[in-house]
Amino acid sequence: MLVAATLLGSCHAGGPTTEEKIAALQRESDAACMCEVRTHGAARAECWRAFDAKISKLTDQAGSMNALWPTSPTFQCIDDKGACIEQWYSVDIARSPRMRVCSAADAKAIDEAYERVQKATGDVLAAEAAGLAVARQAPTLIIDEAAPKKVKSAQ
pLDDT tens for each residue of 113-145: 999 999 999 999 999 999 999 999 999 999 887
pLDDT at 64: 54
* Local structure of residue 74 (DSSP, 8 states): E
Those residues of the chain that have pLDDT short of 70 are 1-16, 59-69, 146-155
Q: Which of 107-132 are b and which e, b meaning 16 or more Cβ less than 10 Å from the residue's Cβ?
A: bebbbebbbebbeeeeeeeebbbbbb
Which pTM does this prediction carry? 0.73
